[in-house]
Structure 1
Amino acid sequence: MEALTITSVPEIFISCKKEVHYSRELILPQPALVRVMSGEVRVAAADRQYNFYEGDTVLFPRNQLGRMSKLPLDGKPCIAVSIVFRRDVLHRFYTANPVESPVFQTAGLMEFGEHPLLESLFNSLTPYFKLADALPPDLAAFKMEEAIRVLRAINKNVDQLLGWFEEPGKIDLMDFMERNFMFNLPAARFGYLTGRSLTTFKRDFKKAFNNTPEKWLTKKRLELAHYLISEQKRRPSDVYFEVGFENLSHFSFAFKKQFGYNPTATPV
């Protein structure tokens, strides 16, 4: 299953989820600013889970790997406004406004508290969303630049995230896979995030784990699922997606093949 990318959505848009909604794995090829208007947004990363509520604003870096859930809260749907920064807009801005010191990519997302400038920015978008769910491209570019200036006025450290244009460098393959195996990504995407071509990724993976990515990932995901079901008493229907399977039937088939019994019959 392919991860969700911003090519499938407009650049500035509003979303409304009246029921609990679980996204696919989310990898943003460009940074995105998200404002929660109501409800709750949860983001599960490799090392922790983030919870955002009404009034929270978060800036997601490029190539952030995680899994997003949108949930209603207190009888209100989950409504969020997203600004996905186009590369050409960012490059044009930072060419005209170079930073004073070298830019390094920040690790993880950036959270913002309440601020008058953020309030003004998102309030200015409300009239447009009464006409449509997304802004026209030319108007979106104008609002993107305004958003960049607002964020820089609040926290100069956003330059470390917004002004980073390099591709992922080669990193420790074993460490990355051990921390991120539960995300349902194709091998080519795992390769990209570790700074490798698909061919090099498969070759290095074989050296590191003495196995193919497909077999190793299935085994790791099933082992985690077994632990969650048997030790934490979680239901298979709540676990399969969390550990990286696309649907319950495929998970149940793989689980029985691995352990010899259905996940619903896991011994205590």
Structure 2
Amino acid sequence: MEYQAKYITEDIKLSCYEDRFFKSDIMFEHHMLIWFISGETKIIRAEGTYLFKAGDIFLIPRNQLATIINYPKDGLPHKTVVMHLTTEWLRRFYAGLNVKPATANVQQIRHYTNHPLLESCLVSLIPYFEMKDLPGGIANLKITEAVTILRTIDADIDNLLANFEEPGKIDLVDYMERNFMFNLPLEKFGYLTGRSLTTFKRDFKKTFATTPQRWLTKKRLDLAHYEFVHKKKKPVDVCYEVGFENLSHFSFAFKKEFGYAPTELLASVI
């Protein structure tokens, strides 16, 4: 896989994937504003699957789990401009404003496609990626411009960007049932449910009467079985969507669990 990235600062980058696809399970530490130049991305979240393509602009909230699958398309690489809106930067921005955000619920991805002001702001970043000596403070100015535009076009955006609360202790069953397909370290699951790793493992064993890894593997394989039987999906698609990292490991685990390979199951239900 050939990957290239150019930076204005660590918070503003031009990302390019040349290969067939790139897949990752991610917990977003920062809000991310993304503008698509070319290619296609499938984002799998607990609430559903999103598909983004050239020209799309969207904002992914922080502290959310997602599976990201990036594809080149129409002979062009997967290329995006990504702007991180960090908690540190947003605290400084909102310090002088009289904003009292409402308590944020689970945040969904926000779409801003075809908005001329926001598109113009992001397009204007392109020349800076080729410059060796950048004007001082240009990154801060560009992020300020982007956030100001977001506050102009999205009346609810302050409830997201100005909310700096960290995850509190939440119901383990509900959260894990909605997010088991994301292949993240247990430390991340602990953080997102408001627990240390030790407390997470202890609460998990008490709640589910098994270890997190055994439970996660079983849930992912059961979901894969459902996808094959009821949606007739291809093994390569199901493998990544349910939380496995490669097709051979997925096929081995599936056959070990059910006694037959994914291809055998598909042949019997088609």
TM norm structure 1: 0.86
Equivalence map 1:102-113=2 (5 Å): 102-105=101-104, 107-113=107-113
Equivalence map 1:62-141=2 (5 Å): 62-99=62-99, 101-105=100-104, 107-131=107-131, 138-141=137-140
Deviation digits for residues 3-25 of structure 1 (CA, Å, limit 9, x no counterpart): xxxxxx93111122344423311
* Equivalent residues, number: 257
- Whole-Å Cα distance in 2 between the matches of residues 120 and 235 of structure 1? 39
Match of 1:191 in 2: 190
Range moving further from structure 2, 43-52 or 137-146: 137-146
Residue type matched to 1:169 in 2?
G
Residue type matched to 1:82 in 2?
V
Residue type matched to 1:257 in 2?
K
Range moving further from structure 2, 163-172 or 141-150: 141-150
Match of 2:58 in 1: 58
- Whole-Å Cα distance in 1 between the matches of residues 241 and 97 of structure 2? 42
Are the structure 2 counterparts of residues 209 and 137 from structure 1 closer, same or farther at C-alpha, using a change threshold of 3 Å?
Answer: farther
- Whole-Å Cα distance in 1 between the matches of residues 11 and 23 of structure 2? 18
- Whole-Å Cα distance in 2 between the matches of residues 137 and 30 of structure 1? 24
Indicate if the aligned counterparts of 2:101 and 2:160 stay in contact, CA closer than 8 A. no
Residue type matched to 2:87 in 1?
R
Match of 2:152 in 1: 153
Match of 1:6 in 2: none
- Whole-Å Cα distance in 2 between the matches of residues 58 and 137 of structure 1? 27
Are the structure 2 counterparts of residues 250 and 42 from structure 1 closer, same or farther at C-alpha, using a change threshold of 3 Å?
Answer: closer
Are the structure 2 counterparts of residues 137 and 23 from structure 1 closer, same or farther at C-alpha, using a change threshold of 3 Å?
Answer: farther
Question: Over aligned residue pairs, what C-alpha RMSD do you find?
Answer: 2.3
- Whole-Å Cα distance in 1 between the matches of residues 13 and 135 of structure 2? 10
Are the structure 2 counterparts of residues 258 and 115 from structure 1 closer, same or farther at C-alpha, using a change threshold of 3 Å?
Answer: closer
Match of 1:14 in 2: 14
Deviation digits for residues 80-111 of structure 1 (CA, Å, limit 9, x no counterpart): 11100132211111102231x33432521211
Indicate if the aligned counterparts of 2:42 and 2:51 stay in contact, CA closer than 8 A. yes
- Whole-Å Cα distance in 1 between the matches of residues 109 and 136 of structure 2? 25
Indicate if the aligned counterparts of 1:90 and 1:162 stay in contact, CA closer than 8 A. yes
- Whole-Å Cα distance in 2 between the matches of residues 60 and 136 of structure 1? 28
Deviation digits for residues 60-79 of structure 1 (CA, Å, limit 9, x no counterpart): 11112111222334444332
Structure 2 residue 19 is matched with structure 1 residue 23: no
- Whole-Å Cα distance in 2 between the matches of residues 109 and 188 of structure 1? 24
Indicate if the aligned counterparts of 1:181 and 1:220 stay in contact, CA closer than 8 A. yes
How much identity, in percent, do the aligned residues show?
A: 50
Range moving further from structure 2, 74-83 or 25-34: 74-83
- Whole-Å Cα distance in 1 between the matches of residues 92 and 262 of structure 2? 53
Residue type matched to 1:94 in 2?
Y
In structure 2, stretches of 5+ residues that fail to align are 1-8
Deviation digits for residues 208-267 of structure 1 (CA, Å, limit 9, x no counterpart): 211111111111111122222344333333322221112223223322322233333337
In structure 1, stretches of 5+ residues that fail to align are 1-8
- Whole-Å Cα distance in 1 between the matches of residues 236 and 178 of structure 2? 23
Match of 2:5 in 1: none
Match of 1:208 in 2: 207
Residue type matched to 1:229 in 2?
F
Deviation digits for residues 137-164 of structure 1 (CA, Å, limit 9, x no counterpart): 9532332122111111212311111112
Indicate if the aligned counterparts of 1:89 and 1:144 stay in contact, CA closer than 8 A. no
- Whole-Å Cα distance in 2 between the matches of residues 76 and 260 of structure 1? 41
TM norm structure 2: 0.85
Are the structure 2 counterparts of residues 103 and 232 from structure 1 closer, same or farther at C-alpha, using a change threshold of 3 Å?
Answer: closer
Equivalence map 1:241-256=2 (5 Å): 241-256=240-255
Report the alpha carbon displacement of residue 165 of structure 1 after superposing the two structures with TM. Answer: 1.1
Secondary structure of the residue that 1:240 maps to in structure 2?
Answer: helix
Report the alpha carbon displacement of residue 45 of structure 1 after superposing the two structures with TM. Answer: 0.6
Secondary structure of the residue that 1:50 maps to in structure 2?
Answer: strand
